[in-house]
Every structure is written in structure tokens, then in C-alpha cells.
Structure 1
């Protein structure tokens, strides 16, 4: 005996295992003919046993094509979200690298400012009060040269 029968109570079908109701044929439980007839006899004035082939899906309640379209759109949206998340991850890596570069550049800028401050003490003739050697040392420091070596 195959379970191809639906149990209708009012405008609803029993779900599988006699648990709950639905208006959608595809969500309705399937029962053997004997099970469906026996259950329909409980309240025969508004219950019936109906073979599944005799019931059409209500278009407003269960539109297979629309559900398939929505599932496809959801799948595409999830794929787009995954791509967006990858792009965000890549941007975060770039931002981190830029932050590291900026930190290095700030340190270099601070070093150059110090050098400029040292050189700014040069008089109108291009010499410091200590003589030109101090200017040369400051310039050498600014490019990372060690004159003592």
C-alpha cells in the first residue's frame, strides 16, 4: 500500500504524521488510503480523504516557479555577498599596509624635521655658530650616513 492520500479538514491538509495543518499540497502528509479514510470518519461533515492526484496546488499559496526564482536570487545574493566580503578583506589588508607605510613615513618625517631644525641654525653665510662641519654632519644624518666610520 502506497501513501498517496491526503487528509483534508476544512480548507487545510494534515501535515505528515498527523502533525499540524497546511494549505499547500506539497507540504501535506501522505497517508495510505485506509489511514486517510479512517481519519476522515472522525468528523465526516468537514473532513475527507483525497488522492493526491485529485488536488491541484493553489496558485497563490504555492508557486513553484516563483520559489525557484527566489531561491536562485538568494543564491546569487549570497555569492555577491561572498565576493564583497573578499573585497573588504583585501581592502583591510591594503589599509593595514598603508598604515604601516604611513608609520614608517612619519618616523622618517620626524627624523628629517630634526635634521632641518639642526640645519636651521645656519647663519646667513651658510655656517652654524660651530662652523660648517655641523651642517655636513646634519646632512649626513638625514640620509643615514655615519661619518664616524
Structure 2
């Protein structure tokens, strides 16, 4: 069975998760999510409340995506339509969460205090870029998951 046929109507398991669309996006989502998490955690937190939302989103999405990836990798989904629906719903929610946290992080970076220095500013800019890249990855994953869900 080709990768395209497997991606459109069947949920992959095992190593198929690493070679089919949209599941090939799991690894980059985890990498960029961890980068956002580490960069935001290593900078001065001011103001704490909006950056708390950014940390929540990055940690929540990292943990759930890792669990989701592990379930698919082990074949725990049993190729049912309910899992395809849940995959589409989760990635849509994650894309929305990441978009809201990316905009918040960009706003806080632009209006943050000047006393933090250039190094902290560069780390914040990097976190913003990686956050928007992860938003794009989750959005693309959502679109391909919706296509797979429709063909199920």
C-alpha cells in the first residue's frame, strides 16, 4: 500500500507514523514546541500572566503531542474513525492555542521592558519565531487530518 493511500483513509501505526502525511509533522511539532518551551522558560518572565499562558500552551501541546505520537507509534488507535476525528479535533485546538500564545508572545516581546538586554530580547524573538512555526505546523497537520477524517 502506498503512503498516499495509507494516509488517506487509514491511520498509520509503527514506523508508518514517521513516513505518512500528516503524521510526519509530529517530530517537528515536538522539536519546535520544546524550543519554545525552553526559550520562554529561560528568559525573564515579565509580565508573568501572559507568559504563563505561553508556557501552558507549549508544555500542554508538547505532552499531548508526545502521548498522541506514542499511541499512534504503538498502534493503540485500532484504525477507527473516532481516532481520526480526535486527531483532527486535537490538532485544530492545538493550532488555535499556539496562534493565541504566539500573538501574545509577540506582543509581550515588542512591549517588554528595555532593561532586560539584547540577549534576552534575542531569545524572546527566537521564541516568537519558533512559536509561529509551530502554529503553522499544527495548522498544516489539522488540514491534512481533516482530509483523512473526511475519507475515513
TM over 0.5: no
Which structure would you say has the larger RCO, counting Cα contacts within 8 Å and 6 or more residues apart? 2
Higher strand share: 1
TM-score, reference length from structure 1: 0.26
**Larger radius of gyration, structure 1 or 2?**
1
Higher helix share: 2
